[in-house]
A and B are shown apart, each in its own frame.
Chain A
Amino acid sequence: DAMVIQNPRYQVTQFGKPVTLSCSQTLNHNVMYWYQQKSSQAPKLLFHYYDKDFNNEADTPDNFQSRRPNTSFCFLDIRSPGLGDAAMYLCATSRNSGTAYEQYFGPGTRLTVT
């Protein structure tokens, strides 16, 4: 089945130690998103790629970076994680059909910062 895959599902890192989360998709969608979701809150968009074009949200900290080497893969790099960065990180994809921006989410990576 076509899907969005995130690895790892759970990640523990130390305060200040760089960490990379990965996302892959078999849907061949041209748009990929990274969201941060904290407990009992809606997902918060960090950035997204339209093909190779990177779009950063204005309030996304510089600590967060992203790479999309090809259509299928997208990475989230947190350069110096702080305790406040502990959250669920969700990757999503969308096919820009020009009508409705339905998004398909991966299962998420839960990041713990110790």
Chain B
Amino acid sequence: TQLLEQSPQFLSIQEGENLTVYCNSSSVFSSLQWYRQEPGEGPVLLVTVVTGGEVKKLKRLTFQFGDARKDSSLHITAAQPGDTGLYLCAGESQNRDDKIIFGKGTRLHILP
């Protein structure tokens, strides 16, 4: 069974600080996605990483896919209150059955 473990589960930091959240598995994933979900809204796709070791940047957000394609990290530089939300990582199912496996998410709160 493919599982994605996200850590930390909760994170509350001051505006301007840097942070990293993690998404780990013992399984290899063909691709991993990161989503951000704000309260009362659906998840919004931030990025997809496909190649082992790949690094993608989205303004102050840096996403990295592990060399072995089993893990990923999201680093936020100079966090802002607008970064507050639930960050979900999701990986493509090995069964190639059109499904993705979600982690349980990291709930991030940036204090002004």
Contact = CB atoms under 8 A, between A and B. Distances in A.
Contacts, number: 63
B48 A43 contact: no
Nearest to B42: A105
B99 A106 contact: no
A96 B30 contact: no
A88 B42 CA distance: 9
Given A41-B104, A42-B104, A42-B105, A101 B45 contact: no
Given A43-B43, A103-B45, 17 more contacts: A4-B42, A40-B105, A42-B105, A43-B88, A50-B98, A55-B98, A88-B40, A99-B50, A100-B31, A100-B50, A101-B93, A101-B98, A102-B48, A103-B100, A105-B35, A108-B41, A110-B40
Contacts of B45: 102-105
Chain A interface size, under 10 / 10 to 19 / 20 to 34 / 35 or more: 20 to 34
Interface residues of B, number: 26
A108 B92 contact: no
A74 interface: no
Given A102-B33, A108-B41, A110-B40, A42 B102 contact: yes
Contacts of B92: 100-101
A6 B41 CA distance: 11
A90 B42 contact: yes
A41 B33 CA distance: 17
A103 to B, nearest CB: 6
A107 interface: yes
